[in-house]
């Protein structure tokens, strides 16, 4: 496949609003692709380069890309930034600049889809001092051969933000349609493999290949997630439940095969180097090849420490040994997904728990099973008394469903009004805060799109402002006066007193007394609060005010 054909497909998809039409367009392309092209196309069309289990990054920031296009199009960087500021779309900007250039020179080497992919893979492999220059050179080579339309999508892929509205669900349906397989089978294979590209390849082989998938050690699967709910409803629906403490730390997935082990974060990043003590503890707890799911918490003087201490440790690149001395990290294991070559996610939780207890000797999160509301409430009270966040109640008969926020895991914790939101902009600080960002514009999501909800300027310590500045300074894509706009990546938790209807922000609501609580760099943009969630909270708030007035 030529990259131009890929770009044309993207253009067609970008102009298509209906999901069914999108599925149709993609499903028509898939059968014509070779075995090598198929996984690449599938990932590209979702705006990804690598399998989801692979946390490898291309490492081309907006600035490298601006420099590359500046040089290819023969314009000043200020021109690139100016056009970008007007359109807000890097793809469109690159397309326009290449169009001007193409009028002057006609020579093009045709870019192949696989050629682009291989170049991008080689970019990501480059490390060290000279790597930025080499990345820029490769970006220039590719953009130099790109026609304007190709440039549009190449630029967006390089920044890993294709934004043509194709979600994983549409690709799943397109694969099912193209190869005439059940979409539930495609979904199940995706849960185990965590790479839609590979799933497409198997779907082409046939349903049996999809059925036979197994989890591969060191290819992390997405974490199963929890919803809010109530103990009474859950008992009413399921009878017996399993209750565990809800630890306020950081989620991990531990993979071990023989003497080799790695630890992955909730975002599936390899955090082995930051937590050598956790690896050691888990290695000593089992002789088997396993994949375990759990939460690591920080303990000092026998008491759980705030969750921030775990995150700080995860971000730490140096002086790990010193940090290890100061605070003890303790893993709490609550699930097992793989044991000695066997994938366990389809077994009921109660069976998985038996296996877990059989093969892991320490660090297992205690569990109470009961159908008695008072007994579960006692676990909840004990959890709070011991300084934990609350409890998780789980359905014993349920499978492990990677990446799903289903009704089989329910979190019970005291009501606190906080929202996880994306930081999309900031204003430079003044006085003591000069030199760092002082207030932040935050957004929630509406069908995958970010919409602004509030500004947050209080709740930060000086140290936290410096920390946030370091995390965001490379993500600035636009500057207007004292305001900057970010390529969104950072998630923060924001507390508030009340939701108010307002037209100041795109969401149609504003937060009263917004207050920074903590950085949530364990969360992705996909995890932030949705507009539906905010509407529901607003409704609940209105109901409780009414109840109070009655």
Closest CA to 171 of 270, 35, 48, 313: 48
Does 251 engage in binding with ligand AMP (CB under 6 A)?
A: yes
* Least Cβ distance, residue 388 to ligand AMP (angstroms): 8
**Catalytic residue, candidates 246, 257, 407, 523:** 246
Residue positions counted in the chain: 550
Instruction: Name which position in 3, 117, 264, 334 contacts ligand AMP (CB under 6 A).
Output: 334
User: Which residue number, 177 or 251, has a Cβ lying nearer to ligand AMP?
Assistant: 251
In angstroms, the CA 21 to CA 31 distance is 17
Q: Which long-range contacts (CB under 8 A, 24 or more apart) does 133-137 make?
A: 135/59, 135/60, 135/64, 136/64, 136/67, 136/68
Q: Report residue 426: phi and psi, to 5°.
A: -160, 165
Q: State the distance between the two ends of the chain, measured CA to CA, in whole angstroms.
A: 67
* Least Cβ distance, residue 243 to ligand AMP (angstroms): 9
Instruction: Name which position in 37, 95, 150, 244 contacts ligand AMP (CB under 6 A).
Output: 244
Does 247 engage in binding with ligand AMP (CB under 6 A)?
A: yes
The Cα-based distances of 174 to 6, 8, 188, 200 in angstroms read 16, 18, 15, 10
User: Which residue number, 157 or 226, has a Cβ lying nearer to ligand AMP?
Assistant: 226
User: Which residue number, 204 or 388, has a Cβ lying nearer to ligand AMP?
Assistant: 388
What three-state secondary structure class fits 233? helix
Q: What token pair was written down for 140? A: 């220039």
* Least Cβ distance, residue 487 to ligand AMP (angstroms): 24
Q: What token pair was written down for 375? A: 């007994």
User: Which residue number, 257 or 411, has a Cβ lying nearer to ligand AMP?
Assistant: 411
Q: Are the C-beta atoms of 343 and 374 separated by less than 8 Å?
A: no
Q: Which long-range contacts (CB under 8 A, 24 or more apart) does 433-437 make?
A: 433/462, 433/465, 436/465, 436/466, 436/468, 436/469, 437/465, 437/468, 437/469, 437/472, 437/484
Span near ligand AMP by CB under 6 A; candidates 45-53, 73-81, 151-159, 239-247: 239-247
Does 493 engage in binding with ligand AMP (CB under 6 A)?
A: no
Q: Are the C-beta atoms of 263 and 290 separated by less than 8 Å?
A: no
Q: What token pair was written down for 404? A: 């799903």
In angstroms, the CA 120 to CA 517 distance is 38
Does 126 engage in binding with ligand AMP (CB under 6 A)?
A: no
Instruction: Name which position in 262, 288, 316, 411 contacts ligand AMP (CB under 6 A).
Output: 411
Does 407 engage in binding with ligand AMP (CB under 6 A)?
A: no
Please give the residue whose beta carbon sits closest to ligand AMP in the complex.
251
The pattern of x and - marking residues 265 through 304 that bind ligand AMP according to CB under 6 A reads ------------------------------x---------
In angstroms, the CA 50 to CA 58 distance is 9
* Least Cβ distance, residue 111 to ligand AMP (angstroms): 41
* Least Cβ distance, residue 314 to ligand AMP (angstroms): 13
Span near ligand AMP by CB under 6 A; candidates 144-152, 221-229, 371-379, 485-493: 221-229
Q: Are the C-beta atoms of 175 and 30 separated by less than 8 Å?
A: yes
User: Which residue number, 177 or 518, has a Cβ lying nearer to ligand AMP?
Assistant: 518
Q: What token pair was written down for 118? A: 């291989």
* Least Cβ distance, residue 125 to ligand AMP (angstroms): 32
Other beta carbons within 10 Å of 123: 22
Does 226 engage in binding with ligand AMP (CB under 6 A)?
A: yes
Span near ligand AMP by CB under 6 A; candidates 10-18, 96-104, 240-248, 281-289: 240-248
User: Which residue number, 437 or 496, has a Cβ lying nearer to ligand AMP?
Assistant: 496
Does 246 engage in binding with ligand AMP (CB under 6 A)?
A: yes
Span near ligand AMP by CB under 6 A; candidates 137-145, 213-221, 241-249, 537-545: 241-249
H helices present in 275-319, as ranges: 276-285, 307-315
User: Which residue number, 290 or 379, has a Cβ lying nearer to ligand AMP?
Assistant: 379
Q: What token pair was written down for 192? A: 């185990």
* Least Cβ distance, residue 351 to ligand AMP (angstroms): 17
Does 518 engage in binding with ligand AMP (CB under 6 A)?
A: no
* Backbone region of residue 171 per phi and psi (left: phi > 0; alpha: psi in -120 to 50; beta: other values): alpha
Q: How many binding residues for ligand AMP (CB under 6 A)? A: 12
User: Which residue number, 37 or 244, has a Cβ lying nearer to ligand AMP?
Assistant: 244
The Cα-based distances of 546 to 353, 497, 541 in angstroms read 45, 17, 9
Whether 246 is catalytic is yes
User: Which residue number, 229 or 508, has a Cβ lying nearer to ligand AMP?
Assistant: 229
In angstroms, the CA 111 to CA 44 distance is 15
Span near ligand AMP by CB under 6 A; candidates 93-101, 109-117, 155-163, 218-226: 218-226
Instruction: Name which position in 99, 365, 375, 476 contacts ligand AMP (CB under 6 A).
Output: 365
Residues that bind ligand AMP (CB under 6 A): 223, 225-226, 244, 246-247, 251, 295, 334, 365, 392, 411
Which residues are catalytic, by number? Answer: 246
């Amino acid at each position: 496949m030529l990259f131009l054909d890929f770009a044309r497909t993207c253009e067609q998809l970008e102009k298509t609003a209906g999901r069914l039409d999108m599925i149709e367009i993609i499903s028509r392309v898939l059968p014509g692709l070779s075995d090598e092209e198929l996984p690449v196309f599938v990932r590209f069309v979702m705006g990804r380069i690598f399998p989801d289990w692979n946390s490898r990054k291309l490492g081309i920031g907006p600035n490298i890309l601006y420099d590359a296009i500046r040089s290819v199009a023969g314009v000043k960087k200020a021109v690139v930034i100016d056009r970008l500021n007007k359109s807000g779309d890097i793809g469109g900007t690159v397309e326009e600049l290449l169009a001007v250039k193409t009028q002057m020179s006609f020579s093009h080497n045709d870019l192949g889809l696989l050629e682009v992919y291989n170049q991008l893979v080689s970019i990501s492999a480059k490390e060290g001092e000279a790597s930025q220059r080499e990345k820029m050179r490769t970006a220039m080579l590719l953009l130099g051969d790109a026609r304007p339309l190709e440039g549009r999508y190449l630029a967006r892929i390089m920044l890993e933000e294709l934004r043509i509205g194709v979600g994983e669900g549409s690709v799943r349906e397109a694969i099912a349609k193209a190869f005439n397989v059940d979409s539930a089978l495609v979904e199940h294979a995706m849960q185990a493999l965590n790479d839609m590209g590979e799933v497409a390849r198997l779907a082409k082989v046939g349903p049996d290949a999809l059925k036979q998938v197994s989890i591969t050690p060191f290819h992390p699967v997405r974490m199963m997630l929890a919803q809010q709910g109530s103990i009474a409803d859950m008992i009413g629906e399921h009878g017996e439940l399993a209750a565990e403490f809800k630890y306020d730390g950081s989620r991990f997935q531990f993979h071990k095969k023989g003497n080799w082990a790695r630890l992955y974060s909730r975002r599936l990043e390899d955090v082995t180097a930051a937590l050598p003590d956790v690896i050691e503890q888990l290695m000593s707890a089992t002789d088997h090849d396993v994949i375990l799911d759990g939460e690591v918490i920080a303990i000092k003087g026998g008491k759980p420490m705030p969750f921030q201490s775990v995150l700080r440790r995860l971000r730490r690149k140096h002086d790990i040994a010193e940090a290890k001395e100061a605070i003890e990290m303790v893993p709490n294991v609550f699930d097992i997904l793989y044991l000695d070559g066997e994938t366990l996610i389809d077994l009921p939780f109660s069976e998985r728990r038996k296996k877990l207890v059989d093969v892991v000797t320490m660090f297992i999160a205690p569990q109470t099973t009961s159908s008695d509301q008072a007994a579960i409430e006692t676990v909840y009270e004990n959890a709070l008394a011991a300084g934990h966040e609350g409890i998780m109640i789980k359905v014993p008969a349920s499978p492990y469903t990677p990446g799903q926020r289903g009704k089989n895991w329910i979190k019970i914790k005291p009501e606190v009004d906080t929202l996880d939101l994306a930081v999309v902009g900031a204003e430079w600080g003044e006085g003591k805060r000069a030199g760092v960002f002082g207030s932040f514009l935050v957004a929630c999501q509406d069908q995958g799109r970010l919409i602004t909800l509030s500004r947050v300027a209080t709740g930060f310590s000086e140290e936290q402002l410096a920390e946030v500045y370091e995390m965001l300074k490379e993500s600035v894509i636009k500057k207007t006066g004292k305001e900057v706009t970010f390529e969104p990546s950072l998630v923060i938790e924001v507390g508030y007193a009340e939701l108010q209807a307002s037209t100041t922000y795109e969401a149609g609501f504003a937060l009263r007394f917004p207050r920074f609580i903590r950085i949530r760099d364990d969360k992705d943009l996909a995890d932030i609060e949705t507009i539906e969630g905010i509407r529901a909270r607003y409704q609940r708030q209105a109901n409780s005010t009414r109840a109070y007035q009655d």
